[in-house]
Amino acid sequence: RDAFNKDHLVFDGAAGSGKSFLALYLALQAVKNKSFDKIIIVRSPTQTIDVGYLPGGIDLSGVGGKLLPFISPYQKIVNDIMGKGYWDSVFGRTIHFEAGIAIRGITFDDAVVIVDEMQNMTFEEIDTVMTRVGYRSKIIWCGDYRQTDLNKKKNDVSGILKFFDIAYHMNAFTKIEFTVDDIVRSSLVKDYILAKLQHEDGATSTN
């Protein structure tokens, strides 16, 4: 909380360590305290299933909206923090969702901007989001460079590590790294991530 009050944040770390939860908790408390007017959640729709194959449009209209599968995790987190039904009472008013591919020309003023799953953004997407941050706004980046889905697409490369290098040279950012010890999703996930990292380290050392 002290880092959030002082700086913009970068959350980097293992799956299941609560990066999205913590970002939304801080943002919801800030809006509740009237430090900011709104929360903007930004996420790239790049995943193992191409958004182009999902039914509907990206305007979130109708049950078949292309972006609805990407919104549901945040709906659950918000309701867990604030109570059942809270998401429905604020979505589209206090909380907004934007696709990283569709925000050129937008300025985010007086908002907490949460960029989630940033490892699935190219540097061009990251650069676009970063340059949208306007007056009296705070940005929180969340990601894990080990989990990118972009390597499934030949010409797309994750921009997360390049952004980390740039943010490291900026006084405006505090980077908080989450380790395997911070995983809270379940003991199974924690054991799996630990075993996977040990396997990857072993494979690297033998090459």
**CA 203, CA 35: separation in Å to the nearest integer?**
48
* pLDDT 10s digits, 83-124: 999 999 999 899 999 887 678 889 999 999 999 999 999 999
- Tell me, what's the pLDDT at 63? 36
Question: φ and ψ at 142, to 5 degrees?
Answer: -130, 130
Q: pTM (2 decimals)? A: 0.84
pLDDT band at 23 (very low <50, low <70, confident <90, very high): very high
In the three-class reduction of DSSP (H, G, I as helix; E, B as strand; rest coil), residue 69 is classed as helix
Q: In this structure, which amino acid lies at residue 81?
A: I
Question: Are 78 and 86 within 8 A, CB to CB?
Answer: yes
